[in-house]
């Protein structure tokens, strides 16, 4: 019985579910357009030799960072085609930064990806930023998989969002 009660409680809070628990696209038509911004990140962990190859421009498929940056930006603009309940959003800004992080104590190197998306509209851009970071990481993997199939794409997360009724949110260190 408790499970049913928990499910009903969740449906009241989840905006993509109607009163019967069925998936729906949220109606944002009556919401005012406000400035919205979201920043997301992802990490790609790899062998130090792989990061060296990328940074030195020796990757067989070309400029890995430039290609991943373009892929992330393009993906942010197509998020509503990939995530079923996302609204198509006219982005006013999208950027993807890739930062090489030298070898850590485990002997791995990392690329930190940071994606920022902005718009002025009735709904946020969190999904666009998360999509940009994810696709940039997938592209990095694709371009380097011939030399390092053991790479790991992970820790995809929202770092901050601003705008709308809920205002500003920033990830705390311990989250």
Q: Do 124 and 40 form a contact (C-beta atoms < 8 A)?
A: no
Check residue 17 and report its DSSP letter: B
Mean pLDDT, residues 40-64: 95
Q: Return mean pLDDT, the chain.
A: 87
Q: Among the options 5, 142, 148, 174, which is catalytic?
A: 142
Is 142 one of the catalytic residues? yes
- State the pLDDT at residue 57: 94
pLDDT at 101 (0 to 100): 92
Q: Kindly report the pTM of this predicted structure.
A: 0.84
Using the predicted structure, report yes or no on whether residue 124 has a pLDDT greater than 90: no
Cβ-contact 9, 135 below 8 angstroms:
no
pLDDT by residue (tens digit) across 58-106?
Answer: 998 999 999 999 999 999 999 999 998 888 999 999 999 999 998 877 8
Domains, the chain, ordered by start: 1-30 (no CATH), 31-170 (3.30.70.640)
């Amino acid at each position: 019985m408790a499970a049913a009660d928990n499910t009903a409680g969740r449906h009241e809070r989840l905006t993509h579910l109607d009163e019967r628990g069925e998936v729906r696209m949220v109606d944002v038509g009556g919401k005012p357009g406000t400035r919205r911004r979201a920043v997301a990140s992802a990490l790609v962990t790899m062998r130090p030799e792989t990061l060296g190859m990328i940074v030195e421009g020796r990757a067989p498929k070309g400029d890995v960072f430039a290609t991943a940056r373009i892929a992330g930006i393009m993906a942010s603009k197509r998020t509503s085609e990939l995530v079923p309940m996302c609204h198509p959003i006219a982005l006013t800004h999208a950027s993807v930064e890739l930062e090489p992080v030298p070898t850590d104590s485990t002997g791995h190197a990392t690329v930190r990806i940071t994606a920022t998306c902005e718009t002025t509209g009735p709904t946020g851009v969190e999904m666009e930023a998360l999509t940009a970071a994810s696709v940039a990481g997938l592209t990095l993997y694709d371009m380097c998989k011939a030399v390092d199939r053991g790479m790991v794409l992970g820790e995809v997360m929202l770092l901050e969002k601003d705008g709308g009724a809920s205002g500003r949110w920033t990830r705390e260190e311990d989250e």
